[in-house]
Structure 1
Amino acid sequence: MTVAINKKLLTVLPAVAMTVVSMVLTVIVVVMWLGESMPWGVALVVGLGLDGGWLATLAYERRLAAQGDHNNAVTGVGWGFGLVATGVLVAHAIGEESAGAWLAVSWLPLAAKALWLVHGLWERTALTPKALDSIRSIQQRARDEAAVARAQLRAVAGTEETRLVAVTQAGARVARVQAETAGELAGAWSVLEAARQGDGTARALTCVTERVTPESHPSWELPVWSPADTRALLESAGLTDAELDRIVYELINSQTPPLSYREVASRFRAAGHSASETRLRASWRRVTTPAVEA
Structure 2
Amino acid sequence: MRAKTVLPAVAMTAVSMVLTLAVVMMWLGSAVPWLVALVVGLGIDGGWLATLAYERRLAAQGDHNRVVTAIGWSFGLLASGVLVSHAVTVEDSAGAWLAVAWLPIAAKALWLVHGLWERTALTTHALDAIQGIQQEARDEAAVARARLRAEAATEETRLTAVTAAGARVARVQAKTAHTLSGAWATLEAARKGEGTGKALTSVTAPVTPGVTARWELPVWGPSEQVPALDAAAPTLTDAALDQLVDAIRTSEDPALSYRDMATRFRASGHSASEVRLRAAWKRVA
**TM-score, length-scaled by structure 2:** 0.75
Q: In structure 2, how many angstroms separate the alpha carbons of the residues matched to 1:203 and 1:123? A: 116
SS of corresponding position for 1:64: helix
1:197–1:26 CA distance, 2 compared to 1 (3 A): same
| 1:103 aligns with one of 95, 98, 101 | 98
Asked whether 1:14 is paired with 2:8, we answer yes
1:194–1:150 CA distance, 2 compared to 1 (3 A): same
- Please list the CA deviations of residues 223-250 of structure 1 after superposition, one character each: whole Å capped at 9, or x if unmatched: 344xxx34869x9xxxxxxxxxxxxxxx
1:88–1:231 CA distance, 2 compared to 1 (3 A): farther
Q: In structure 2, how many angstroms separate the alpha carbons of the residues matched to 1:175 and 1:69? A: 81
| 1:173 aligns with one of 168, 182, 190 | 168
Aligned ranges for residues 49-64 of structure 1 at < 5 Å? 49-64=43-58
| 2:196 aligns with one of 181, 198, 201 | 201
Once the two structures are overlaid, the 10-residue window that deviates more, 192-201 or 105-114, is 192-201
* Aligned position for 2:185: 190
- Unaligned regions of 5+ residues in structure 1, if any? 1-6, 236-294
- Unaligned regions of 5+ residues in structure 2, if any? 227-285
Once the two structures are overlaid, the 10-residue window that deviates more, 206-215 or 93-102, is 93-102
Aligned AA for 1:218? A
Q: CA RMSD in A?
A: 1.7
Q: In structure 2, how many angstroms separate the alpha carbons of the residues matched to 1:75 and 1:160? A: 65
Which one has a larger percent helix, Structure 1 or Structure 2? 1
Q: In structure 2, how many angstroms separate the alpha carbons of the residues matched to 1:230 and 1:12? A: 101
Q: In structure 1, how many angstroms separate the alpha carbons of the residues matched to 2:164 and 2:16? A: 81
Aligned AA for 1:114? A
Aligned AA for 2:30? E
- In the alignment of these two chains, the number of paired residues is 225
Asked whether 1:160 is paired with 2:155, we answer yes
| 1:130 aligns with one of 125, 129, 132 | 125
Give 1:133 deviation, angstroms. Answer: 1.1
Q: In structure 2, how many angstroms separate the alpha carbons of the residues matched to 1:95 and 1:194? A: 124
Aligned-residue identity in percent? 73
Aligned AA for 1:172? A
**TM-score, length-scaled by structure 1:** 0.73
- Please list the CA deviations of residues 95-120 of structure 1 after superposition, one character each: whole Å capped at 9, or x if unmatched: 23343322221111110000000000
